[in-house]
Structure 1
């Protein structure tokens, strides 16, 4: 009976594929088809920085290489402008969730041998970019990323999720729920305290009196504009300096003693 049910299920799926899905796909524009095909063949977008990573030389002796790892808010950040003459590497990809970032953490961060990684993510998880997920699932991805970094003696900075607003033509709060943003930031702060990582608090520095992203810091209610990045840059630099002062081996010893910062 189970075998017959399984066979029937497969037959129905194949019928739907060939009679509904395939004809519908054939009517899509070429660019849309290419995008769907790319999503299927490289879901985590490992190829996005593949060539750039291959061309990047190893860090020089005593170089404080830092990787900024995240989604569109990181990708759109002109690091050379805000951190001139600093060996900071941008590995943000627009639209990504922590699920995708976890998969590409080894080639896009560990393989580059940075001393510190600045991780800014989570907003696309909350928006459901790669499917509906719980806060616990997002937290698990953060924890796995941190454990990979710690194993490779890379200092971890977890940046808070930025606030959003509804002041533009886009009602961001309908999909980027402020309650979930606050809950995730609370967890990130606790996790950093418990595991000797650094919590980078952009959130509280960018709020208005209504508890939303200040109107002058973003043009679309989500992505920082120049004024937004001007606030974020010194906060990030301060967190990086703090991270560089921490010796990973010393942290392991302190952690073994049950002491937290």
Structure 2
């Protein structure tokens, strides 16, 4: 089985496209609003305890939105790396995902996230390449000319529509297949 670890984008997936999780060995462990420290705290019960073959990690957007107050990108990156290391130590294959494009937060209009999303994704992609971890790049496939998500992919600019999830599904399934083939 494969655990999807994340925030509202992960939690909303099974609601927006219930067919994606039906008939597949996928477990949705997304909790709305969560930041990377909160995900790290629950990584043991929500991922390791389930003994999956692989974990899909999608984290960082709520940190950039400062849902729990200001946090440096280095700290966010460190929390994601800690989840990767916990998974690897428990022989769980890792699929690391880019943060989705975002150029605004409906709930935090004073924060301009576009450049921070780009910077965090660069850190994640570099780490994945250096450590031979499967990296799923949602960002470059979904981004518009304003460094955000087009309306067809996310009505509110953050949470994917069915069409947005369909794009993500194709990419993540390819990543999962690659991860499960790795020795």
**TM-score, with length taken from structure 2:** 0.93
Which residue is 2:101 aligned to? 163
Q: Structure 2 regions of 5+ residues with no counterpart?
A: none
Q: Which has the higher helix share?
A: 1
Q: 1:211 aligns with which of 117, 137, 147?
A: 147
RMSD across aligned positions (CA): 1.7
1:230 maps onto 2:166 in alignment: yes
Q: Which has the higher contact order (CA 8 A, sep 6+)?
A: 2
1:81 to partner: Cα distance: 1.1
Inter-partner Cα distance in structure 2 for 1:131 and 1:171: 13
1:186 to partner: Cα distance: 0.3
Q: Structure 1 regions of 5+ residues with no counterpart?
A: 1-64, 248-261
Which residue is 2:129 aligned to? 193
In the superposition, relative to structure 1, how do residues 176 and 232 fare at CA in structure 2: closer, same or farther (>3 Å)? farther
Inter-partner Cα distance in structure 2 for 1:155 and 1:145: 11
Q: Is the 8 A contact 2:103 2:112 kept in 1?
A: no
Structure (1 or 2) with the larger CA radius of gyration: 1
After the TM superposition, list the runs of 4 or more consecutive aligned residues in structure 1 that deviate by more than 4 angstroms.
none
Q: Over residues 213-254 of structure 1, what are the superposed CA-to-partner deviations in whole Å (9 max), with x where a residue is unaligned? A: 11211111110011110111110100000001012xxxxxxx
1:210 to partner: Cα distance: 2.8
Which residue is 1:111 aligned to? 49
Q: Is the 8 A contact 1:172 1:222 kept in 2?
A: no
1:211 to partner: Cα distance: 2.6
Matched residue of 1:216: which SS? coil
